[in-house]
Every structure is written in C-alpha cells, then in structure tokens.
Structure 1
C-alpha cells in the first residue's frame, strides 16, 4: 500500500484516490479486495491515511505523517541507494530503556530504528553507521524522555568487521539482494510485459522489502562481491523501463479527487 501511494500520489500534490481504483491496482499483484479494505482502514486508524467521501464513493489521501514516511523512503531508494561507498568513520548510538509493559512502543521503536539503519549492539543499545538523525522518529513515537542519542567514532582497538558481523545478519541481508537480482534480471530478459503499473508496484514493493533491513554498512567493511550493487543496478534498470508506461497507465486507471 505504501508503494502504491509512493508511486502514484506522493508527487501529485493534495490528491485522494477512489478505493475502487486502489482495489483494482493491488488486485493486479494478487492482493484481494478484503485485504485492501482492511489495510486502508488500519492505515487510517494509525494516522497514515485519511478518508474523503464523494457521494457514495470513498477516497483516500496521505496524511502529513505518511508523507514524511514516503519522502524518507524516496530518499533511501533514489538518492542514498543501497551501497555505502562514502562512510566517514562515524557512528550513531542510541540507548533506550522502556517499561516492560510498553511492548507496542518497544516494537514500534525497533521497527523504525531498523528502517533507519540501526542494529542491536546490545539489548538497549543500538548503533548505525554515519551521522543519523533519528530525533524526529523518537519524538514522533513520544519516547524522547526514554532515549539518549550519541555520535562517536570507534576506538582503534575495536574490530569493526567483527562488530558488524555480530550486530547484523549479513547472510540474510545478502540473500535478499541475490533473490531480488535473480528475479528481476529474469524479468528484464523476458521483456516488460503488458501491465507496467502492476510490474512497477511489485518492483518497488520487493525492493523496499529487500532494503528495509539493510543498514547501508560501509562497503569497505563488507565481504567481497557484496550483492547490493548488482541488485541495485537491476532495480534501477527495471524502474527506468517501467516509469513512463506505469505513469500513463495510472492516469487511465486511477479515479482521483482533489483533497479538501
């Protein structure tokens, strides 16, 4: 759903999309109507989407919170990329201590930290390469009083490559890139197909799933032939191939209304 709104709404200004159009497009990638409707409702309840009624039809648009999430995803996908060749040697450390009863808050914090590139150095101490600004994330979750953030460099006695292997599951991250690259390289060889909007939705969704647990670790401390680079090149080739056709198809398929 986030990939759909990122592809077709984020850059269109204040726009709402008819639920039937959303059901149609997500149905092209195998998502059933009931699943779409329940996801829309859940995202409204979480403050990610807002409803707008036009006669008997219901339209959905982005909230400021969703816009921030999608803009962050766009930066990660299109500007930063998956390969970190310019790491400056710095690290961001975040320590937190939450009451045992705060299970949802702990889950939400860990999920947002993972997306921001953090890994658990210890149970309550997380670390990410580079100077990462997560103050807005912490504030948005209402956890500012329970979190401490530091920026530092590792001492010479610290084995950075060992720390990386202990903190992140490199095999799992690499396997995601290999799987993505094989699947979409095969797609390139088979041609673009006749459903560019569905193809692009699958592409972006799978790429987001692939990179979401990748903290963009410094390339010089990763194993040789790290598979993120070829996977990223494949992603960008398919993205370029589908961009214009998907945009044209979206204009034909999506019923929209200006946000009020």
Structure 2
C-alpha cells in the first residue's frame, strides 16, 4: 500500500521509500520489458531524499515479496517487474488516469458483502477487511460492508480462501434511508476531504514547493505521483452528487494533472540520463 500523505505539509516526512520506488517503476518500467540497475534506482530516489541504505533494503524486500526479480549482468545487479508488480502498477495507473478522483457516473447500485468468520481467525479477518477497503468498501455495521459500485468481490478476495464465509449482494437504497446517511456511516467522509485538502496545501502553490522539488523535476514528479497515488488509492470513489458542494477532489486532481504535465518532459530527460537498463 502507498504511504499516507501527511496533513502538515511543510513539516511532513518524505513518503516511504517503497512508495517512491513504486512510483518510479510505474512511470519508467511498466509495460517495458526492461530491468534497471541498482545504481539507477539509488540515484533517482536519492533526489527525493531516500538514502542508499533504504533503497537497497527496499529492493531486497520487494524481491522477497514477489514484486521484483533480480538478475545479474557482469558485476551489476538489475531489477525487473514480476507479473504481480505489473498488476499492482497497472491498477495504480488506471486509478490515476482512467478512474479519476471524482465519481460523476454512479448508477445508484451498491455491492454488499456480509461475512462471519470464526472468532479465532483474527489474521484472516484483518486480511479480508484490508482487501475490502482496497476495493472501495466501508463497514456499514458488524459483518456487513458496502461499496457504492459494482465490485468483483471474487477477484478482490482472491487467494484468501474465504469465499465460503462470504455473502455478496447488489442493492439500492430506498426510503427512509438516505444515500448520504450511508456514506457518512460507512466512510470517513471528513477524513477523505481532509486528505485532499492536505494535498492542495502541499502542491497548490507557486512557491515554496517542498524543498526536494526545487529545481529538480524528476524529484518533483516522483513525490507528486506518490502523494497522489496514495490519495486515490485511499479514496473509495464516493458518488459526487451525494458529497458536500465544496468537495476538494476535482481541484486536487486538476493541480496534480497540471504539475504532472509541466514536469513530465524534463523529468523524463533527467531519468533517461540516470537509467542503466537491460532486457528483462
């Protein structure tokens, strides 16, 4: 999961190295049959403030987690994406560029998931809840979760082996229940809005931008994408028509896309100068 964007922008710690690394691989390796040298990753992430030790440790951890594959050429080590990493990064790209931050096309239907697991299965319960949150669900009441979308629950919980314990439904809200009431009960609507406003506090200004961004478009690109991807992955994509009129997601998305376009060419040029690649 991408790290949380801090609410205090000027005093905020930098995003975790793994989050920045996923942004880097998503921009420069996704859909390309390439592996990148360790030194290139260290140099690129070093521009954001990540230490060499943190980068090396994160690369090793991602290999163990099945996200990267290591290969050697001569005295150099290169890292390429695994199929699992490609899926994770493609999902992130879709959420950023295709799904977007504002849900203006809701059809009024919900997906409901009811579950009851044995009391001793705390780890399984945690994993299931994490998957449901990732898929856009919120807890409506004990053992019943809701998402304002048509969700492929089977795909969302794949590998957990909990299907026999789940009951999945599609439903509409009817009187006297109000959609906004359900949204406020199942989701932290003020918290979601606060995260978008924190993003705007950090990025919607001419000067001063975060210190590591000044004059370095590659650092800016990686930090910006990391902040934004974390934000949209935490956002359950609630229907805009039932959110407060001053909902900040649209403005935040406009700021993200404007900065991404502004920095893209210079960042790609800087990355090209750093990248040492070989066929994956």
SS in 2 for 1:91: strand
Question: Please, what TM-score do these two structures have when normalized by structure 1?
Answer: 0.91
Corresponding residue of 2:26: 6
User: RMSD in angstroms over aligned alpha carbons?
Assistant: 2.1
Corresponding residue of 1:233: 254
* 2:154 aligned residue (113, 128, 135): 135
CA distance in 2, matches of 1:154, 1:65: 36
Query: Does residue 1:41 correspond to 2:60, yes or no?
Result: yes
Number of aligned pairs? Answer: 258
* CA spacing shift, 1:14–1:143, aligned 2, 3 Å: farther
Deviation at 1:102, TM superposition (A): 4.4
SS in 1 for 2:113: strand
* CA spacing shift, 1:7–1:166, aligned 2, 3 Å: same
CA distance in 1, matches of 2:41, 2:122: 32
CA distance in 2, matches of 1:36, 1:105: 31
Question: Please, what TM-score do these two structures have when normalized by structure 2?
Answer: 0.85
Deviation at 1:175, TM superposition (A): 0.9
* 1:126 aligned residue (129, 140, 145): 145
> Which shifted more, 169-178 or 144-153?
144-153
Task: Structure 1 unaligned segments of length 5 or more: list them.
Answer: none
Corresponding residue of 2:81: 62
SS in 1 for 2:256: helix
Query: Does residue 1:257 correspond to 2:278, yes or no?
Result: yes
* 1:89 aligned residue (101, 104, 108): 108
* CA spacing shift, 1:132–1:253, aligned 2, 3 Å: same
Contact 2:70 2:80 in 1 (8 A): yes
Deviation at 1:189, TM superposition (A): 7.9
SS in 2 for 1:86: coil
CA distance in 1, matches of 2:77, 2:154: 35
CA distance in 1, matches of 2:123, 2:49: 30
* CA spacing shift, 1:189–1:124, aligned 2, 3 Å: same
Deviation at 1:170, TM superposition (A): 1.3
Contact 2:92 2:233 in 1 (8 A): no
Query: Does residue 1:218 correspond to 2:232, yes or no?
Result: no
CA distance in 2, matches of 1:10, 1:120: 34
* CA spacing shift, 1:148–1:54, aligned 2, 3 Å: farther
Corresponding residue of 2:131: 112
Which structure's residues are more often helix, by fraction? 1
Corresponding residue of 1:201: 222
SS in 1 for 2:204: helix
> Which shifted more, 198-207 or 34-43?
34-43
Equivalent residues in 2 for 1:100-179, closer than 5 Å: 100-179=119-198
Task: Structure 2 unaligned segments of length 5 or more: list them.
Answer: 1-20
CA distance in 1, matches of 2:190, 2:251: 16
CA distance in 2, matches of 1:221, 1:16: 45
